[in-house]
């Protein structure tokens, strides 16, 4: 592979002026800048019409699931929780797991097409554990797990719509960890596997 002198990287990162480079280094710099300029041409197209047609048909989600959960957690409730079998296995194996809880009985004011999902992961020594997923648009900070008894097992509960969701754990804000016991996975296209979970509709 072509060796690029660290000075060239520093110029490209805006840390040094181009004048600091030798002629050979400047050649590399200019080749890369030329490529970037070529790629900067904007495609003469628009999806605005298509997007706005869809937007006008669909209201923004009325309130975030996290907000609704926080509101619910601020009140007193009697909740019956049923874990899926992987929960016991997860703890026994000292690995991460997820429990899916049917949305029946007392709990948050759930719609018919929603369910409660509890995420559980064992991360001894972690300073923070988030869950990011298709339901947070892969943004950290929306689903924060807690280890209140400091035993290394982190837990968090959210309400999710019925259907299939992808997720990953984010440990200490930087380490993305696939749930090893999710059972089903999908390639994220970048060499990692997203775990899959399914929230089923209530049966009458």
Binding site residues, other proteins, CB under 8 A: 1-4, 8-9, 12-13, 28, 31-33, 35-36, 38-52, 54-56, 58, 60-64, 66-67, 132, 136-142, 170, 174, 176, 186-191
Minimum distance from residue 23 beta carbon to other proteins (Å): 16
**Tell me, what DSSP letter sits at residue 65?**
H
Distance CA 84, CA 86 (A): 6
Minimum distance from residue 175 beta carbon to other proteins (Å): 9
Looking at the Cβ atoms of 31 and 73, the one nearer to other proteins is 31
Looking at the Cβ atoms of 135 and 154, the one nearer to other proteins is 135
Minimum distance from residue 123 beta carbon to other proteins (Å): 17
For residue 121, what are the CA distances in angstroms to 64, 96, 146?
23, 4, 10
Looking at the Cβ atoms of 35 and 93, the one nearer to other proteins is 35
3-state secondary structure (DSSP) of residue 4:
coil
Element (H, E) at 53: helix 48-57
Task: Name 175's Cβ contacts closer than 8 Å, sequence gap at least 6.
Answer: none
Looking at the Cβ atoms of 68 and 155, the one nearer to other proteins is 68
Minimum distance from residue 17 beta carbon to other proteins (Å): 18
Distance CA 22, CA 187 (A): 44
Looking at the Cβ atoms of 49 and 150, the one nearer to other proteins is 49
Element (H, E) at 25: helix 23-39
Minimum distance from residue 103 beta carbon to other proteins (Å): 20
3-state secondary structure (DSSP) of residue 59:
coil
How many CB atoms sit inside 10 A of residue 196's CB? 18
Distance CA 96, CA 89 (A): 10
Looking at the Cβ atoms of 103 and 194, the one nearer to other proteins is 194
Minimum distance from residue 43 beta carbon to other proteins (Å): 5
């Amino acid at each position: 592979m072509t060796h690029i002198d660290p000075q060239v990287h520093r110029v490209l990162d805006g840390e040094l002026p181009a004048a600091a480079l030798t002629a050979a280094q400047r050649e590399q710099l200019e080749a890369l800048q030329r490529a970037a300029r070529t790629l900067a041409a904007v495609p003469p197209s628009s999806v605005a019409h298509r997007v706005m047609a869809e937007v006008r048909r669909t209201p923004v989600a009325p309130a975030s699931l996290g907000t609704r959960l926080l509101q619910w957690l601020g009140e007193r409730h009697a909740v019956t929780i049923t874990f899926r079998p992987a929960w016991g296995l997860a703890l026994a194996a000292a690995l991460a797991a997820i429990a899916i809880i049917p949305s029946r009985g007392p709990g948050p004011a759930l719609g018919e097409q929603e369910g409660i999902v509890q995420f559980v992961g064992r991360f001894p020594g972690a300073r923070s554990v988030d869950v990011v997923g298709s339901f947070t648009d892969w943004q950290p900070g929306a689903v924060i797990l807690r280890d209140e008894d400091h035993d290394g097992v982190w837990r968090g509960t959210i309400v999710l719509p019925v259907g299939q969701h992808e997720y990953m754990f984010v440990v200490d804000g930087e380490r993305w960890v696939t749930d090893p016991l999710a059972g089903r996975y999908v390639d994220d296209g970048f060499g990692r596997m997203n775990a899959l979970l399914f929230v089923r509709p209530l049966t009458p």
